[in-house]
Amino acid sequence: MLLTFWKKVNIWYERLLLLILVMILLIVSWCIYDSWYVYRHTIDDSLLHYKPGAVTASKDDPPLSEDMIAWLTVEDTDIDYPVMQYSDNIKYLNTDPFGRYSLGGSIFLDSRNDPRFTDDFSLIYGHHMEYGKLFGALDRFLEESYLCQHRNGTLLVGKNGEKRMRLSIFAALQASAAEKAIFDPEKGTVRSYLQTHTDVSPTQLQGRLIAFSTCIGGDNDTRTIVFACLTE
């Protein structure tokens, strides 16, 4: 009788272990799929069909959201995306340029900025994605040699790129997300902050300024920010 009891215990123990292993396998499989899904939807090259002046998307392709206000390109990098803007800075954290839910979100302009980029200082956000996608490429600008070789870019303003503006990148740094001089575009103190925390010259701070911000991963509130001059 005792032997039969322990045999049953062993059988249930083995079944429990098998169940735990199956659950672990399912969780790992889901994590792998989720990472693949986010990555795949971030690097979809078909998005470039919507770039003003490029080959247009077919009539069967979904339209971009009406919230698109510009197209940002930094030469010789993977940064080549539409820029969105909404009435808050939450929506496009997890919404793609087509208006669909996406963990990768979109590149978007601060809700307090003018969508025509007429402000003295404009601020654009994007998630830090693997393989340099979205604003994952900003890390490299912290290397002085890389920044010097990747200074140029363009901003096509308007849904159809009605106005073309040039970007000239001049500085990159890391700062707290609570730094109001950077993350409050209306404050108007970004120039004095840059003069204090970088070695930029006064001539580099003339004209309109624009910045690109991304997180550095995890729960850290530090941000990587790349600064550029914006000229028509």
pLDDT at 201: 81
Domain count, the chain: 2
Would you state the structure tokens that stand for residue 213, as one six-digit string?
């911000």
Same domain, residue pair 121 and 141 = yes
Same domain, residue pair 115 and 193 = yes
- The stretch 3-17 carries a mean pLDDT of 69
- Give 63 or 93, the one with higher predicted confidence: 93
Same domain, residue pair 17 and 90 = no
- The stretch 109-127 carries a mean pLDDT of 97
Same domain, residue pair 130 and 25 = no
Region of poorest pLDDT, from 1-5, 12-16, 97-101: 1-5
In what helix (H) or strand (E) does residue 190 lie, and over which residues does it extend? helix 190-197
Per residue in 15-57, pLDDT tens?
777 777 778 777 766 655 555 555 555 555 678 888 988 766 6
Q: How many CA atoms within 13 Å lie on the side-chain side of 81?
A: 29
Tell me the average pLDDT of the chain: 86
The percentage of residues in the chain with a pLDDT greater than 90, rounded to a whole number, is 57
Same domain, residue pair 108 and 6 = no
Same domain, residue pair 77 and 30 = no
- Give 216 or 2, the one with higher predicted confidence: 216
Which residue range forms the structural domain that includes residue 16? 2-42
pLDDT at 47: 83
Same domain, residue pair 95 and 133 = yes
Report the C-alpha gap between 105 and 180 in whole angstroms. 24
Same domain, residue pair 37 and 72 = no
- Give 63 or 112, the one with higher predicted confidence: 112
Same domain, residue pair 52 and 38 = no
Same domain, residue pair 132 and 190 = yes
Amino acid at 197: H
Same domain, residue pair 13 and 52 = no
**pLDDT confidence of 147, banded at 50, 70, 90?**
very high
- The stretch 74-91 carries a mean pLDDT of 95
- The stretch 96-103 carries a mean pLDDT of 89
73, 79 contact by CB (below 8 A):
yes
Which of 27, 42, 57 is the C-terminal boundary of a domain? 42
Report the C-alpha gap between 68 and 156 in whole angstroms. 11
Report the C-alpha gap between 126 and 107 in whole angstroms. 5
Amino acid at 141: F
Angle at the Cα of 217 (from 228 to 28), degrees rounded to 5?
140
Same domain, residue pair 87 and 16 = no
pTM, full prediction: 0.81
Would you state the structure tokens that stand for residue 46, as one six-digit string?
């078909």
- The stretch 116-120 carries a mean pLDDT of 96
Report the C-alpha gap between 181 and 185 in whole angstroms. 7
Q: What is the CATH number of the domain that holds 172?
A: 2.40.260.10
